[in-house]
A and B are shown apart, each in its own frame.
Chain A
């Protein structure tokens, strides 16, 4: 019974594959026929989505694809070990905002510009312009395109629509308004509960991922033109101070111990009027089983900084091709990457809950038809457009520098002398950075 179902399903898939193939067959998909390629993947929702569809690709191209997927920690270890040992890896996935420099410096990444530019290798329907600008940028190092986005995320300001309506507050569009709104709600009693104005991550290194949006929006940066730490600059200090003051004055108790789990659960408990965190946590906020605020949440992009800047970060997973792989296998790997990120798969992925990096998918009728939170979609798309791909310090030893950054964030939340802490961290960063 089960196997009958299975064969039915594969027959159906086969038909679909044929129609798809005939529909976009402008390049020669069989040009690498008989090649075997091996991809290492993180057990990410995208991997779960694409794996059952690979047979379709194999049928269309005659290329054999072996996908090996592991849970994230294990994946990272295995990947590094294999790449180090020069193992037979043709393609894999990375988070460029965190890993690109490291892999680039190690010489593991194959630039893709040549493949994309070659009309024999890249089908016109793949349409590189369809990707949000920020992700094309984020998947590049030293001006070279090294990956294609398969999962796209950003951070958004989420707020309680019900409370904003009840108290007749406008959604903040500047940082000054954000502070003012947080102040307004802080300490308000609603349904017998005391509200906090806003909740944010405050736990040292973990907070840098959201704090960096404030850094960019305040006009700050990780490093100056000479590559030295920019923490002691007035813009950076302003960002540290604003973030720390906001959380200390209008956030939950014990802000320095808030990771995303504590911060989001505070918001989901209905204890906070606003939260700034990853856009994908929408699925938490809107889950009525877990959240007391499901259906009550509005979404918007980060408010503008004092100079009008509005620079949230975007983060993404990308598929990359290994430099080490042979030319023929690289060609086959590119065909696979191209197919996996084409418009059909991107839309199907988005519909399956894997946020795509393609504008066309988000703008499609199919997606919009099922969208229960259009303001989230709008905010997300805007953020993808204006976002910054680099959200980590531009160094190889990212975790260590994030940790140093976290010390200043904690000092700011604790109300200590931020200038002093930032200066010290800048020195430390310059001492410890591996470029």
Chain B
């Protein structure tokens, strides 16, 4: 009995590198590899969930994508939304981080309040915004009109919907960028700043020539981190507009969701998901390259 056990023990011992990672590999396989593989298979099929089996149709889904106006609309919305929100979040995140980087009386309390939007649950926040933005009963128009300003249509107009969503996204996520950049600022070396003061820089020049280049890798890292979510932004847009009015705020990701889970067209939906994934991937590869260049300091 004991010898049998010890034989097993020895067997396992000698093959530790197979046995120990095995559960992790199995889980990884189940929750990551399988779904991805299934998705990759589905994108070459036509399949309405619940109706029959997936039918192999080769590249037809991708042909359909190129002729699908909503795909192009989705790309346009995604570029507009992500471009504007990422740029603004980065800009305000950096500015506010610079402001918080100096200690002042009560700065901790101010910071604690400031990060509340970031800490709040996205869907809850989005719901509140949705109610506040309602042109008829929302508090925002109420406030605007009560101080004599004209009310806005906000997400109810195709002309302002993306700008409004950008505003909400910026409100929600700028604190995250701020936190990351602030940590970066705090870890910057101190003495180049003094060298720069002696070399003749004023505050603006110090920011431009010293802070900005030094913090650039952190900014890019923050941008990458944020873009992963932002390019696939779902909760907020879905909760507030569901892509509306019409398809005025329907990003490519939202459209792919609608196709898969609203229209139950799993094959075409998978193909769209893959396109979204490729966009995110390409963006991050580019950013990574930028970051590598920037971090060579």
**Are A and B in contact, CB atoms below 8 Å, in the complex?**
yes
Determine whether A241 belongs to the interface, using a CB cutoff of 8 Å to chain B. Answer: no
Determine whether A414 belongs to the interface, using a CB cutoff of 8 Å to chain B. Answer: yes
Determine whether B54 belongs to the interface, using a CB cutoff of 8 Å to chain A. Answer: no
With a cutoff of 8 Å between Cβ atoms, the chain B residues found around residue A204 in the complex are 242, 244-246
Determine whether B154 belongs to the interface, using a CB cutoff of 8 Å to chain A. Answer: yes
Q: Report yes or no: A257 in contact with B156, Cβ–Cβ below 8 A.
A: yes
- Given A254-B136, A254-B153, A269-B137, the answer on whether A203 and B244 have CB atoms closer than 8 Å is yes
Q: Report yes or no: A266 in contact with B48, Cβ–Cβ below 8 A.
A: no
CA distance A252 to B50 in the complex (A): 39
Determine whether A102 belongs to the interface, using a CB cutoff of 8 Å to chain B. Answer: yes
- Tell me which of A252, A253, A400, A413 contacts B263 (CB under 8 A): A400
Distance between B186 CB and nearest chain A CB, rounded to angstroms: 43
Distance between B77 CB and nearest chain A CB, rounded to angstroms: 14
Determine whether B264 belongs to the interface, using a CB cutoff of 8 Å to chain A. Answer: yes
Q: Report yes or no: B51 in contact with A396, Cβ–Cβ below 8 A.
A: yes
Distance between B275 CB and nearest chain A CB, rounded to angstroms: 18
With a cutoff of 8 Å between Cβ atoms, the chain A residues found around residue B246 in the complex are 204, 256, 406-407, 410-411, 414
Q: Report yes or no: A256 in contact with B263, Cβ–Cβ below 8 A.
A: no
Main secondary structure of the interface of A (DSSP, over half): helix
CA distance A332 to B263 in the complex (A): 36
- Tell me which of A253, A410, A434 contacts B244 (CB under 8 A): A410
- Given A80-B49, A411-B246, the answer on whether A403 and B262 have CB atoms closer than 8 Å is yes
With a cutoff of 8 Å between Cβ atoms, the chain A residues found around residue B263 in the complex are 397, 399-400, 403
- Given A254-B153, A256-B246, the answer on whether A396 and B48 have CB atoms closer than 8 Å is yes
- Tell me which of A262, A266, A399 contacts B262 (CB under 8 A): A399
Interface residues of A in 283-321 (CB under 8 A from B): none
Interface residues of A in 261-292 (CB under 8 A from B): 262, 265-266, 269, 271
Interface residues of B in 77-106 (CB under 8 A from A): none
Interface residues of B in 134-159 (CB under 8 A from A): 134-137, 151, 153-158
Q: Report yes or no: A253 in contact with B136, Cβ–Cβ below 8 A.
A: yes
With a cutoff of 8 Å between Cβ atoms, the chain B residues found around residue A414 in the complex are 158, 245-246
CA distance A254 to B152 in the complex (A): 9
With a cutoff of 8 Å between Cβ atoms, the chain B residues found around residue A387 in the complex are none
With a cutoff of 8 Å between Cβ atoms, the chain B residues found around residue A266 in the complex are 136-137
With a cutoff of 8 Å between Cβ atoms, the chain A residues found around residue B134 in the complex are 254, 257, 262
Determine whether B265 belongs to the interface, using a CB cutoff of 8 Å to chain A. Answer: yes
Q: Report yes or no: A252 in contact with B258, Cβ–Cβ below 8 A.
A: no
Distance between B51 CB and nearest chain A CB, rounded to angstroms: 6
Determine whether A84 belongs to the interface, using a CB cutoff of 8 Å to chain B. Answer: yes
Determine whether A5 belongs to the interface, using a CB cutoff of 8 Å to chain B. Answer: no
Q: Report yes or no: B137 in contact with A265, Cβ–Cβ below 8 A.
A: yes
Q: Report yes or no: B48 in contact with A257, Cβ–Cβ below 8 A.
A: no
The interface size bin for chain A is: 20 to 34
Determine whether B214 belongs to the interface, using a CB cutoff of 8 Å to chain A. Answer: no
Scoring B242, B262, B263 by chain A CB atoms within 10 A of each residue's CB, the highest score goes to B263
Q: Report yes or no: B245 in contact with A410, Cβ–Cβ below 8 A.
A: yes
- Given A253-B151, A253-B156, the answer on whether A434 and B48 have CB atoms closer than 8 Å is yes
With a cutoff of 8 Å between Cβ atoms, the chain A residues found around residue B151 in the complex are 253
Determine whether B241 belongs to the interface, using a CB cutoff of 8 Å to chain A. Answer: yes
Q: Report yes or no: B244 in contact with A102, Cβ–Cβ below 8 A.
A: no
Tell me the count of chain B residues lying within 8 A, CB to CB, of chain A. Answer: 27
- Given A102-B51, A203-B242, A262-B134, the answer on whether A256 and B156 have CB atoms closer than 8 Å is yes
CA distance A325 to B246 in the complex (A): 43
Determine whether A220 belongs to the interface, using a CB cutoff of 8 Å to chain B. Answer: no
CA distance A340 to B156 in the complex (A): 45
Determine whether A106 belongs to the interface, using a CB cutoff of 8 Å to chain B. Answer: yes
Determine whether B123 belongs to the interface, using a CB cutoff of 8 Å to chain A. Answer: no
Determine whether B247 belongs to the interface, using a CB cutoff of 8 Å to chain A. Answer: yes
- Tell me which of A84, A253, A410 contacts B50 (CB under 8 A): A84
Instruction: Give the A-B contact count at a CB cut-off of 8 A.
Output: 79
- Given A396-B48, A396-B51, A397-B48, the answer on whether A256 and B135 have CB atoms closer than 8 Å is no
With a cutoff of 8 Å between Cβ atoms, the chain B residues found around residue A80 in the complex are 49-50
- Tell me which of B50, B51, B245, B264 contacts A257 (CB under 8 A): B245
Nearest-neighbor residue (CB-CB) of A401 within chain B: B263
Q: Report yes or no: B244 in contact with A397, Cβ–Cβ below 8 A.
A: no
Determine whether A255 belongs to the interface, using a CB cutoff of 8 Å to chain B. Answer: yes
Scoring A256, A266, A271, A406 by chain B CB atoms within 10 A of each residue's CB, the highest score goes to A256
CA distance A271 to B263 in the complex (A): 35
Interface residues of A in 186-205 (CB under 8 A from B): 203-204
Nearest-neighbor residue (CB-CB) of B151 within chain A: A253
Distance between A431 CB and nearest chain B CB, rounded to angstroms: 9
CA distance A84 to B50 in the complex (A): 7
Q: Report yes or no: A257 in contact with B155, Cβ–Cβ below 8 A.
A: yes
CA distance A413 to B48 in the complex (A): 31
CA distance A271 to B241 in the complex (A): 23
CA distance A270 to B165 in the complex (A): 29
Scoring A106, A253, A265, A266 by chain B CB atoms within 10 A of each residue's CB, the highest score goes to A253
With a cutoff of 8 Å between Cβ atoms, the chain A residues found around residue B51 in the complex are 102, 105-106, 396, 434
Distance between A378 CB and nearest chain B CB, rounded to angstroms: 31
With a cutoff of 8 Å between Cβ atoms, the chain B residues found around residue A105 in the complex are 51
Interface string of A393-435 (1 = CB under 8 A from B): 0001101100100110011011000000000000000000010
- Tell me which of A84, A397, A410 contacts B264 (CB under 8 A): A397
Interface string of A223-235 (1 = CB under 8 A from B): 0000000000000
Interface residues of A in 29-50 (CB under 8 A from B): none
Interface string of B243-266 (1 = CB under 8 A from A): 011110000000000110011110
Q: A105-B51, A254-B154 are in contact. List 17 more A-B contacts (CB 8 A).
A: A102-B50, A106-B50, A204-B245, A253-B135, A254-B136, A254-B155, A254-B157, A265-B137, A269-B137, A271-B136, A396-B51, A397-B263, A397-B265, A399-B262, A403-B258, A406-B246, A410-B245
